[in-house]
Structure formats: structure tokens, C-alpha cells
């Protein structure tokens, strides 16, 4: 299979993944929106800031899925003469926006929680417990919907971890509602809100860190261009020197590698072409690099660079 056919096959395979993702995201968005409305109403009826804060978290969840769906559609547009890598990065940008959007939400939740610490208010624990159970059930359902797709893209991964955070916050609210219902200790309500805020901050930091790494053209997490360079030199003794190596990510499942290579003397041109094919194949199989550009440099070119 030639390089063009290989890229097209990869794109078709990726588009199939995105099609499945889109259907699952739409289902998750529908469920999340319904529960968000229930929690907002339930929060005001029960006077629970924890429920309202979780509804705010649900809103960010719905917003995240909406952004992810938009990015999913944009990313499916094929490459062209001025978008040679396509618009796959739209998914990474969506993940970055989702992580960034959580910061002001956390600020509002913490502010409201502090007010409740200073001015405790009566809470209807029984109704709070019912709404919290509904939220927990929906969060678990959403997690199951996207579980098989969670590593298919950073975009879906950001939504999946958001669901995990939702489930954790729902569990906290269920426990708090149960205790409040039997003990009347309303101070647990803002405490749970602060706990939810910590979970949100942790999730946002992870997504922002990973998306910024990709947007700044850094090497993928856990991979080192020097490690690949040394591995190639050991695997292929024909390589005398390998330099100007670059490794970067378009999206987490699309890695690109380029390098200049200086071969040992007396290697025929035909053998050089076979060697390049073997190197490209090795990078694809061992490092999941979908596109590698290896340029063979004349020996005197490297010597001139060292002057």
C-alpha cells in the first residue's frame, strides 16, 4: 500500500471512530441536559448549594459535550491545499476551551460555599437525596456510554473524565444528603461543594496541561525524541548520524516524526531507499507514528554544518 493510500485508509478509519463518538456524545448530551434541569430545580426546592453547584458542573459538562460535538464535525473535514493536516486540531482546541471554561465555574461554586459556611441555611435532605441519586445514576450511565471510546481522542477523553468527576461529586452529594436527612448537619452541604471544586480543578488542570502540550508542538507525553533517535541508530547500523529530529502531535493518535540522517559510506542508492522504507515501517509499528519524513544528507553537508 503506497503512502497516499495508507493516509486515506487511516483517515477513513479515524472518521469511523469520530462517527461513533458523535452518536455517543449526542446521547450523553441529552441525558446530561435533562439531569442538569432536574438538579437546578431540585437545588432551589431543597435549598441545597451542593445540588446547585453540581448542576453548574453539569452545565459545564453539557457545554463540554457541545464543544466536543462541534469539534468532532469540524475535524471530519478533509485536508486541502491550505489545511494540509486537516482540522483535527479543532478537537484539541475544544478540550482546551473545556478545561479553561471550568475555572470561573469553580470560582462561583467556592464563593457560594463560603457564603453558606458564614450563613448556614435549612436544607431538605430527603428531596436532596432523591435528586442526588438521579444525578448519580445518569453519570454512571454516561460513563458506560463513552467508556469504550475514552482513549480514541483527547476530545472524548476530556468529556469522559468530566463524567468521572460528575459521578464523584454525585456520590459526595448522596452521602451528604443522607447524613443531613438524619442529623441535620447542614454544614456538610458547602463542604461537599468545596470537594466538588477540588475535583473540577484537578480535572481541568490535567486537560489543560495535555492540550497545551499538543498546541505548543511538544513531544507526546511519555515519549522522547532522543530515545527514538538512539533506538534507530541501534536498530539500523547503516545510520552514522541522525540529527535535527522532531517529534510532535497533531492529535493524541496522530504522531509525526522528521529527521536528517547521515549514512555510512558505500551504501548504494537502491539500498538507501529500502532503508528508508524499513525505518518508516519501524517507526509506525513501534511508536505509532503515522507519518515520518527522513531526509538523507550528504556526508559533506553535515561536516559543513559543524564548521
Residues 113 and 201 reside in one and the same domain: yes
Query: pTM of this prediction?
Result: 0.65
Q: Does residue 214 surpass a pLDDT of 80?
A: yes
The predicted pLDDT at position 113 comes to 79
More confident position, 139 or 209 = 209
DSSP secondary structure letters along 34-45: HHHHHHHHHHHH
Q: Does residue 270 surpass a pLDDT of 50?
A: yes
- Of 181, 215, 249, which residue is a domain's last? 215
The predicted pLDDT at position 13 comes to 42
Phi, psi of 121 (to 5 degrees): -130, 155
The predicted pLDDT at position 107 comes to 83
Instruction: Please report how many Cα atoms fall inside a 13 Å half-sphere around the Cα of residue 256, on the Cβ side.
Output: 12
Residues 157 and 263 reside in one and the same domain: no
Measured distance CA(7)–CA(229) in Å, rounded: 24
**Residue 220: inside a domain, yes or no?**
no
Is the separation of the CB atoms in 151 and 142 below 8 Å?
no
Residues 267 and 128 reside in one and the same domain: no
Residues 91 and 182 reside in one and the same domain: yes
C-alpha cell belonging to residue 4: 497516499
Relative orientation angle of helices 125-146 and 49-75, to the nearest 10 degrees: 20
Domain CATH for 288 = 3.30.70.1350
Q: Is 124 helix (H, G, I), strand (E, B) or coil?
A: coil
The predicted pLDDT at position 75 comes to 65
More confident position, 285 or 164 = 285
Residues 128 and 231 reside in one and the same domain: no
DSSP strand pairing (289-296 vs 239-251): unpaired
Measured distance CA(125)–CA(185) in Å, rounded: 10
Q: Quote the domain boundaries for residue 278.
A: 225-305
Residues 58 and 29 reside in one and the same domain: yes
Residues 196 and 112 reside in one and the same domain: yes
The set of residues, in sequence order, having a beta carbon less than 8 Å from that of 10 and lying 6+ positions away, is 290
**Residue 18: inside a domain, yes or no?**
yes
- Of 215, 236, 255, which residue is a domain's last? 215
**Range of 157-166, 237-246, 251-260 with top mean pLDDT:** 237-246
**Residue 41: inside a domain, yes or no?**
yes
Phi, psi of 221 (to 5 degrees): -60, 130
The set of residues, in sequence order, having a beta carbon less than 8 Å from that of 231 and lying 6+ positions away, is 286
Name the nearest CA neighbour of 68 among 102, 25, 101.
25
Max distance between CA atoms of the chain, in angstroms, equals 86
Residues 32 and 162 reside in one and the same domain: yes
Q: Does residue 306 surpass a pLDDT of 60?
A: no
Residues 104 and 197 reside in one and the same domain: yes
pLDDT band for position 282 (50/70/90)?
A: very high
Mean residue pLDDT of the chain comes to 76
- Mean pLDDT, residues 262-283 taken together: 82
How many domains in the chain? Answer: 2
The predicted pLDDT at position 16 comes to 44
Residue 43 CA: distances (Å) to CA of 47, 48, 189, 195: 5, 5, 11, 17
- Of 166, 186, 215, which residue is a domain's last? 215
The predicted pLDDT at position 17 comes to 44
The predicted pLDDT at position 14 comes to 46
Tens of pLDDT, residue by residue over 127-161, are 777 877 877 887 788 778 777 665 556 667 666 77
Amino acid at each position: 500500500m503506497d503512502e497516499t493510500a495508507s493516509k486515506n485508509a487511516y483517515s477513513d478509519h479515524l472518521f469511523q471512530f469520530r462517527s461513533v463518538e458523535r452518536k455517543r456524545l449526542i446521547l450523553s448530551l441529552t441525558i446530561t441536559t435533562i439531569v442538569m434541569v432536574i438538579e437546578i430545580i431540585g437545588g432551589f426546592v431543597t435549598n441545597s448549594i451542593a445540588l446547585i453547584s453540581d448542576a453548574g458542573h453539569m452545565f459545564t459538562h453539557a457545554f463540554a459535550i457541545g464543544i466536543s460535538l462541534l469539534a468532532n464535525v469540524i475535524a471530519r473535514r478533509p485536508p486541502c491545499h491550505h489545511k494540509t493536516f486537516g482540522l483535527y486540531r479543532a478537537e484539541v482546541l475544544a478540550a482546551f476551551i473545556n478545561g479553561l471554561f471550568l475555572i470561573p465555574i469553580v470560582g462561583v461554586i467556592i464563593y457560594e460555599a463560603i457564603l453558606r459556611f458564614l450563613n448556614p441555611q435549612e436544607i431538605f435532605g430527603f428531596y436532596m437525596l432523591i435528586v442526588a441519586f438521579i444525578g448519580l445514576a445518569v453519570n454512571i450511565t454516561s460513563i458506560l456510554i463513552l467508556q469504550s471510546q475514552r482513549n480514541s481522542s483527547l476530545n472524548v477523553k476530556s468529556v469522559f473524565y468530566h463524567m468521572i468527576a460528575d459521578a464523584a461529586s454525585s456520590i459526595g452529594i448522596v452521602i451528604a444528603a443522607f447524613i443531613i436527612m438524619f442529623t441535620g448537619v447542614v454544614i456538610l452541604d458547602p463542604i461537599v461543594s468545596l470537594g466538588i471544586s477540588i475535583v473540577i480543578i484537578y480535572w481541568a488542570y490535567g486537560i489543560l496541561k495535555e492540550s497545551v502540550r499538543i498546541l505548543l508542538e511538544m513531544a507526546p507525553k511519555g515519549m522522547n525524541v532522543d530515545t527514538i533517535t538512539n533506538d534507530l541508530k541501534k536498530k539500523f547500523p547503516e545510520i552514522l548520524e541522525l540529527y535535527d529530529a522532531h517529534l510532535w502531535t497533531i492529535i493524541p493518535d496522530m504522531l509525526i516524526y522528521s529527521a536528517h540522517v547521515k549514512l555510512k559510506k558505500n551504501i548504494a542508492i537502491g539500498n538507501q531507499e529500502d532503508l528508508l522504507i524499513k525505518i518508516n515501517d519501524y517507526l509506525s509499528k513501534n511508536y505509532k507514528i503515522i507519518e515520518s519524513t527522513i531526509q538523507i544528507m550528504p556526508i559533506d553537508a553535515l561536516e559543513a554544518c559543524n564548521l
